[in-house]
Amino acid sequence: MTYIADITQMSDLPLQANERGFGCFSCGQPLETSAVRYDGKGGSVLLHLRCANEMGQRLIVDSWTHRRKHEQAPS
Ligand SMILES: [Zn+2]
């Protein structure tokens, strides 16, 4: 994830860009200046800073709770 101070200066467009501008990948509300950008294999998305913070915490909580379910036994 990368902090973007001014999304209007980005040279490439993330997935959710459209003719109305940018909407946050998480909440869908408009993004106007700064954002957090996440680059994945299928493209990039932008989030409000508060939404990125919340998503990060949720990812940690969800993955931490279930972290041992798919571990491979040591060989
Ligand atoms: Zn948002």
What is the residue type of 46? L
pTM equals 0.74
Extended strands (E) in 1-75:
2-4, 22-23, 30-31, 35-40, 43-47
Report the alpha-carbon distance of residue 57 to residue 7 in Å, rounded. Answer: 24
Gyration radius (Cα) of the chain, Å: 15
Q: What kind and span of H or E run contains 61?
A: helix 49-65
Q: Identify residue 8 by its one-letter amino acid code.
A: T
Report CA(17)–ligand 1 centroid distance (Å).
14
Kindly indicate the confidence band of residue 18, based on its pLDDT and cuts at 50, 70 and 90. low
24-71 pLDDT tens trace: 999 989 888 899 999 889 888 899 999 999 999 999 999 888 888 877
Q: What pLDDT was estimated at residue 19?
A: 59
How many angstroms is it from 67 CA to the middle of ligand 1? Answer: 27
